[in-house]
Amino acid sequence: MPLCPADEPGHPQHPAEAAARATGLADLDRVVTHCRACPRLVEWREETARTKRLAYRDQDYWARPIPGFGPPDAPLLLVGLAPAAHGANRTGRIFTGDPSGDLLYAALYDLGLADRPESVRHGDGLELYGVRITDPVRCAPPENKPTTTERDTCRPWITRELQFLRPTVRTVLALGGFAWQAVLPALATAGWQIPRPRPAFGHDAVATLPSRTPGPPLRLHGCYHVSPRNTNTGRLTPTMLRTTLREAALSAGLHPNPM
């Protein structure tokens, strides 16, 4: 029997209640996968898994929320948008199983921040070094467009993740304007001050967020999203991605490979 209505994974308050009770990052990563707080996204993630894409018709889709991926003491956090219906929603790992992820993991490997250039699926043994990747919306949305209500309902998960990462995280790299806007309120709740005027997203934009308590500030870097729309048009080239990732890694105190 649930202790209160918010213990039901489909209750809109479930993310806030369950995230607050998580005892650590590993617990949070486990608990989030049971969330069903957004009816439209639950329907979409499961419908996609039933109908499948022809190329993946023999595969079992993950069809649940996607937890963050990477070490719990990462100094650098990459923030995307939401899982892709036939990418992470299929493979169970963030940015995995689609062209966006292929580019991102190849760049991380080139910079010495991953132990291999490809991410195949949840549980394939891939290791990231000093980098964690997460999304502000954990379920695949139709047309990659979550509503503002869905974004806000999901916010407690990333907020709690940032609270757990707070002792070590020094830099957040927002992949796209949605990530930038979505992560700011989560950072404010997790203990950093948002400058006024609110910093604007741009490729290579950098903002410094002082800590509310004694401690180092956090740097927020911007990078165009690794979406096919940006990469196929040349708005974001592989070199631009590596350059921006490297800058963010350096600002986090990591030692990425030279380009």
The Cα–Cα gap between 164 and 61 comes to 29
Among 41, 81, 104, 174, binds ligand SF4 (CB under 6 A): 41
**Environment class of residue 203 by beta-carbon count within 10 Å: exposed (0-12), middle (13-18) or buried (19+)?**
middle
Among 22, 25, 36, 159, binds ligand SF4 (CB under 6 A): 36
Size of the site for ligand SF4 (CB under 6 A): 15
Site string for ligand SF4, 46-85 (x = CB under 6 A): -------------------x--------------------
Pick the stretch among 96-104, 107-115, 148-156, 176-184 that binds ligand SF4 (CB under 6 A): 148-156
Compare residues 176 and 222 and give the one whose CB is closer to ligand SF4. Answer: 176
Smallest gap from residue 208 Cβ to ligand SF4 (A):
29
The Cα–Cα gap between 166 and 232 comes to 35
Compare residues 42 and 111 and give the one whose CB is closer to ligand SF4. Answer: 42
Among 88, 104, 139, 184, binds ligand SF4 (CB under 6 A): 139
Answer whether 226's CB lies under 8 Å from 173's CB: no
How many CA within 13 A on the CB side of residue 83? 31
Among 90, 122, 138, 225, binds ligand SF4 (CB under 6 A): 138
Per-residue tokens: 112? 């010495």
The Cα–Cα gap between 130 and 32 comes to 22
Per-residue tokens: 38? 């957004």
Residue listed under structure tokens 């939401």: 82
- Measured between alpha carbons, how far is residue 99 from residues 88, 139, 143, 184, 229 in Å? 11, 18, 16, 27, 11
Would you count residue 38 as binding ligand SF4 (CB under 6 A)?
Answer: yes
Which residues would be at the binding site for ligand SF4 (CB under 6 A)? 15, 32, 35-38, 41-42, 65, 137-139, 150, 153-154
